[in-house]
Structure 1
């Protein structure tokens, strides 16, 4: 078993949300170059895919990504336990159970946000996961679903699941509407209730509570931490404008070293990209995650266009990255001024 980092509660002061099709291993490698401290998450991996589908390759990651957590989706306690054992064997620092995804595909598998309606089943699942895991087992949930009253449902859910052994929760501060709204609408339409998440922390002071949903700046993150929450999880903003979130995180959230520049990050990605190409990978498998770099800089549009148009071409190599970099006019630009 690979060595795993400790002190995840501290790293979880700021984390990057698990996002399907986005937070793959290439994305996480770049994010780790930008911050040594933030807690990174995989895309959701379903326990049926691992246990019944033989898809263990989905757990592949680079040790450089640490601290990195894996998010599982499922609702069968025995299957989730077996999947958790696999994740621990692969060396992940945390196993997280998804109780928040509202997509139709997830609902049909009876996991994700629909599990908010079944707290006893969630408790049974996490108890089985904890029993076989050598790392933290955590839960990411919503404040409720459909016609549930979050002020009644969420405290009861947290109490039930925490009694099963979970000590760290990330709460997406929106309801999930399982009928009538798309997953995209579920990220924006239901109103945010940050006050409820803050109340959960007051009601359960011994639990580590992180907030997720609608957070787009480090200033907001610092505000939630100052208000008493233990952590903040940022999703789309960390992906689309990673320089503005991740390059400042170590200094502003963790009190660590200062920032790199976006150009330094690109330079540090070059050996990783070269290795990926040598192994038969495609350039756009990595550079699609780099489009948000240089956001707000002169030449950012050319950077995005050059990568978008050139990286998918058969045989595309580092010369495409060089051409894109040449489009960025303000060579001294840093995340602070981006």
Structure 2
């Protein structure tokens, strides 16, 4: 417990987290602080490219083997499985939520938050803790399968008369910009290796933490506005789900990481991936696939409740547990 509290204290006092807190506080206070959409999009693209490239270079340095394939397969299984867990938990805690809305929410909790992944990798590196480079590939694989599970749930419960597995949806899933950029940068980093990383280090290494701080400042603003405008949507049961589901997902991630024999850092990352919720790829797909689902519910849950919980308390908890479980 002392280790968890110590990590939480260090995490809360890091520039990355304090920038997020600043943004959320500004939004709740109704400040006019904002980022132009183009700049926010540019920062997102930068972070995806940087983390993907560095992950690919790490795999090139250490070599790809059966462990990479097994880790990717495990990520795929988790992404398909977790929506069923989320659906059952939400329906149990918040009986007023419709089957359609529960299915839409479930899809978000089977996918991942790439920003939470980036923040975790940054905090691990700050503490000198390494993790397997191929976890970037696992993160990319876990973006989309949960959408399929969510649509199956919606159809199975007979509440998705407006849902459709259309060509537009498959294009949204397979060619989602975040997935394409993350995997593409990973491939480039893998091909060029350490030489390529050294060539562009001034772009993707040195300014990385500064850009991450600004990006999380913007995300804090967005999350704060979501909380401010979510009156009547976030009931006690829904709020409980937004905190209990990441803890449940992290438990599944821990079991998967231990089965794979991941290092302490890799186990922490796997727990974070399973504990996070998408607020970029999945909402875009849900707008196409389940247009009758309530975006105020699934966006507020993912971005304004689970995301802040993971950043402030979840990540230190997962890191401490990973260290304990691996003896690291």
Q: TM-score, normalised by structure 1?
A: 0.22
- Looking at secondary structure, tell me which structure has more strand per residue: 1
Q: Which has the higher contact order (CA 8 A, sep 6+)?
A: 2
What TM-score results when the alignment is normalised by the length of structure 2?
0.23
